[in-house]
A and B are shown apart, each in its own frame.
Chain A
Amino acid sequence: MLKYFAKRLVLGLVTIWFIASATFFGMHAVPGDPLAGDKAVTAQIRANLAAKYGLDKPLGTQYLIYLGNIAKGDFGISYTQENRRVNDIIREHFPISATLGILAIVFAGLGGVLWGALTALYRNRWPDVVIMFLVILGISVPSFVVAAISQWSLVGLNVAAGTTVLPIGGWGSVWHMLVPALVLGLSTMAYLTRLMRSSMLEVVSTDYIRTAKAKGLPATQIFSRHQLRNAILPVITVLGPAIAGITTGGFVVEIVFAIPGLGRYFVQAIQQLDYTVIMGTTVFYGAFLVFMVILVDLLYGLVDPRVRVDQ
C-alpha cells in the first residue's frame, strides 16, 4: 500500500517535470517578444530588461535555472506585473478559483445524485421528463452563453426587486459565489445526473436487490443500503476528472462574473507572453491535477471494497 503510493508519487514528480519542460520549450517556441512594449525602447533598455529576466542567457542555461527554481518552489517575477512574484499571484488567486471549484463540484455532485435518483424513481413520469430536459439544456448550451444569460437575469431580478437580491459579480462573500458556482457546475451536474440515472436503473435489475426484496427487507432499507450506495460508485470515479476540469475550466465564469481567479490571469498572461506567469500557472495546475488524481484513487479504494489499491 505504502510502496504503491510511493511509486505513484515518484511518477507524479516525473509527470510534473514533463509538464514543466513541455511548457518551457513550447513557450519559447512562441514567436513574439515578451519584452516588447507599446512604445519602442532603446537597445540598452531592452538589454537591461532581458538581463533582469535572465533572457540573455542561452536557452539550455535558462532551462536549467528554471528547473532549479521550480524544485525550490520559486516561479520568479511576473513580466507584466513587474514587482509581483508569481508565487504571490498563485497564492492570492488560486484559493479563489479553488473555492469556486469546490462549491461547483459539491453542487454538481449532490445535484447529480439527487436528480439522478429522482429521475430513476420517477422513470418516464413528469419529474423524469422535466429534469432530463433541464439536463439536456445543461449539457448542450455553451457555458459562456449560460453565464451571460444568468448574469443578465440576475440584473433583471435585482432591478425588479429594487434591491440587491444577489450580487451580479465580484468576489467577497458566499452570495457572490452562488450563481457562478452553479453555472460552473451545471454541465458536470447534468452529466452526473445522467450517469446516476442509468446507474440506478442498472442496480435495480441486479440479483442482490432481487434477493433483498425476496428477503422482505423494507423498501427504505433497500434504497439506502443497496441501491443508492451501489449506484453512487460510478459517480465517484468520474469526480476526479471532473474536479480537474472544473478548477481549470473556470475561465469563462471568472471573466463573466469579474471573479479574480487564477484562470483570468492565465488568459491575460498568454496574451502578454508573460513567461513566468504562464509557466507558473501551468506547472502549478499540472501538479495539482496529478495529486488530485492520486487522491481520488485513494478515496475510491476506501469507498469500494472491491478495489484494492495495492493490487
Chain B
Amino acid sequence: MSTTDLTPADFQQLQSGAAAAQTPRPSLSYWADAWRRLRANPRAMISMSLIVFLLAFVSIGPGLWRVDPAAQDLDQIGIGPGADRQVTLAEPFQQWQPSISDIALADNPLGLTLAMPANTQAVRLIWSEQVPQQQPQQTRYRLYRNLFAPKDTGSFGLPLAVVDRSWFEDRLDLQPGTYHYTLVALDADGAETASAVTQAVDVIRVISIAEARQRGLLDAKETAELGQSLELAWHPLGTDYLGRDMLARLMYGGQVSLFIGIFAPLAFVLLGVIYGSVSGFLGGVTDQAMMRFADFVVALPFLLFMILFKVIFGIGPGESGIWPMLVAMIILLWPAPARLVRGQILQIREEGYVSASRLLGGTTSYVVGRHMLPNTLGVILVTMTFQVPSAIFTEAFLSFIGMGVAPPTPSWGAMCNEGIKSMLTRPHELLFPAMLISITVLAFNLLGDGLRDALDARMRGSE
C-alpha cells in the first residue's frame, strides 16, 4: 500500500450526475491474458527467443553462410575450430621412381633418409640397401609412424608396411606436423630385429597450383609461384570426418531435425484432435469403437514399431528418409492427443454455455468450432510443445542405431552418432550437434512449462 497524502478535498461529497471515476480493468480475452502471463515469464521468453534463433539459424543461416554442406575439403579433414589454414603451393603429386644412388644417405645404422622435403602429399624415405650383419636376401623391413617420439621397442606406433626394398612412400592421412618414422629390419622369420632407426620428419601442408585455382583459392588470372603461402577455405566450426564444413552441416542438419521435431507433432496432434473431437462429439457406440482402436495403437511398443515402420516404408535411392520417419511417427503417436481432446470435449459438452449456444440455434459445426475447440486449444498447444523434444530424440535414436536419415543428408542426431566415434580426438564433431539438440530440447521444454502455466485457466488473472 502506498501512502497518499489526503486532503480535505478528497472527503467532499460527489455531485450526483457527475461521472464516477472509472477504474475498469481492461477487458482481456483468454489469449491476450495468456500472452500477458507468458511474457511475464522470463524463462519462457528466453526459450522462445532461443527457438526463434534456432529457426533463423537453420532457415536464414544457409543464405548467409553459403557453403555446400556436401563439399568435401579433403585437405582439412576433422579439423577443429580455429585450426591453422596455412598452405604452401607445390608441384602436383607425381608417382615416385626413386633413384637411390643419387641421394646421400644419412649417417645412421640403417641409413634412413628423407629423400625429398616432406609434405602432405607424400613423405618419401629411403635407406641403405645393405644391412650390416645380415644376409642380403633377408632384408625385409617394417616401417612405423608415430605422432609421439617412441619410447621403447615394441611400440613404435602405427605399422605402415612391410617392404622388401629400400624405399617407401607414405601417403596415409598426412597432416601438417611432426611424425616419427621408425624403420626396423626383420629377420628371416619376419620377426623384428634390434636394428631400428627413428627419424623425425616435419610435414608441411601443400597444394598444387591447379588445385588451388580449382578451389577458388587463386584467381584464374592471378600469377602464383611455388613456395608461395596461401590460406585454405575457412571453416569457423571446423570440419567433419570427410572434411565437410560443420557450420553448414549444422544448419542443414538442423533443418532435418527441426522439421521432424516440429512437423511430426504438428501432424499427429492435428490428426489426434480431429479423431478425438469426432469421437467425443459423436459419443455412444462410435466413440467406444473409435477409442478401442486408439487403445490398440497405443499398445504398440513405440520404438520397436518405429524401427519396423522405418524398414517397411523403406528409403528409395537418393531420398533422405525424412518422410518415412514422419509418417511412422504420425501413425504411432496420434492416439495420445486424440484421447486428451476427447476427454476435454466430453467435459465441455456438458457445460452450460454449450447448451446455451445450442438452445440459441447454434449448429453443430458452430458449437464445435466456436466453443469446443478453442477451449481445448490450450491443452493441445501444451501437448504439442512437449512432443517436440521427444520427436527430436527419436530421430537421434534412430540415427544412433543406423536407421536414421540416409547419407548424405545431415541431421543433428546422425552427426552426434558420427561424432561419438571420434569423441576423444575430435570432440567438436560431437559437441556442436549435441549442444544444438540439448538447446532445442531445453527450449521447447521450458516453453511448454511456460505455456502450461500461462494457459492454465485456474491461474487466469492471478500473479
Contact = CB atoms under 8 A, between A and B. Distances in A.
Chains A and B touch (C-beta atoms under 8 A apart)? yes
Given A15-B295, A248-B303, A267-B401, A148 B308 contact: no
Contacts of B423: 148-149, 152
Interface string A269-297: 01100000010011001100110010000
Contacts of B432: none
A285 B301 contact: yes
Contacts of A129: none
A252 B402 CA distance: 12
A64 B292 CA distance: 24
A144 interface: yes
Contacts, number: 106
B309 interface: yes
B430 interface: yes
Given A19-B300, A152-B423, A248-B303, A145 B311 contact: no
Interface stretch (B166-174, B238-246, B278-286, B413-421): B413-421
A140 B438 contact: yes
Given A249-B303, A251-B303, A282-B301, A23 B308 contact: yes
B308 A152 contact: no
Contacts of A148: 420, 423
A114 to B, nearest CB: 21
Interface stretch (B15-23, B115-123, B258-266, B392-400): B392-400
A142 B434 contact: yes
Contact of A140 (B304, B305, B308, B437): B437
Contact of A248 (B302, B311, B417): B302
A140 B442 CA distance: 6
Given A26-B308, A270-B308, A144 B396 contact: yes
A136 interface: yes
A230 interface: no
Contact of A286 (B301, B401, B416): B301
A203 interface: no
Given A144-B397, A267-B401, A289-B301, A30 B312 contact: yes
A142 B304 contact: no
A248 B445 contact: no
Contacts of A244: 301
Contacts of B9: none
Interface string A118-156: 000000000000000000110111111100110010000
A114 B268 CA distance: 35
Interface residues of A, number: 43
Interface string B428-448: 001000100111011001000
A192 B441 CA distance: 17
B149 interface: no
A106 interface: no
A274 B398 CA distance: 19
A11 B311 CA distance: 29
A103 interface: no
A144 B397 CA distance: 8
Contact of B299 (A248, A281, A286): A286
Nearest to B430: A145
Contact of B413 (A15, A19, A142, A255): A142
B314 interface: yes
A175 interface: no
B307 interface: yes
Interface string A239-263: 0000011001101100100000000
B296 interface: yes
Contacts of B417: 144
B424 interface: yes
Contacts of A137: 438
Interface string B371-397: 000000000000000000100010011
Nearest to B419: A145
Interface of A: 11, 14-15, 18-19, 22-23, 26-27, 29-31, 136-137, 139-145, 148-149, 152, 244-245, 248-249, 251-252, 255, 266-267, 270-271, 278, 281-282, 285-286, 289-290, 293
11 contacts: A22-B305, A136-B442, A139-B442, A139-B445, A143-B397, A148-B423, A152-B424, A248-B303, A252-B401, A255-B401, A270-B308
Q: A-B pairs with the 3 shortest C-beta distances?
A: A140-B438, A140-B441, A18-B296
Given A27-B312, A282-B305, A282-B308, 4 more contacts: A29-B312, A145-B430, A248-B301, A266-B307
Interface of B: 292, 295-296, 299-305, 307-309, 311-312, 314, 389, 393, 396-397, 400-403, 413, 416-417, 420, 423-424, 430, 434, 437-439, 441-442, 445
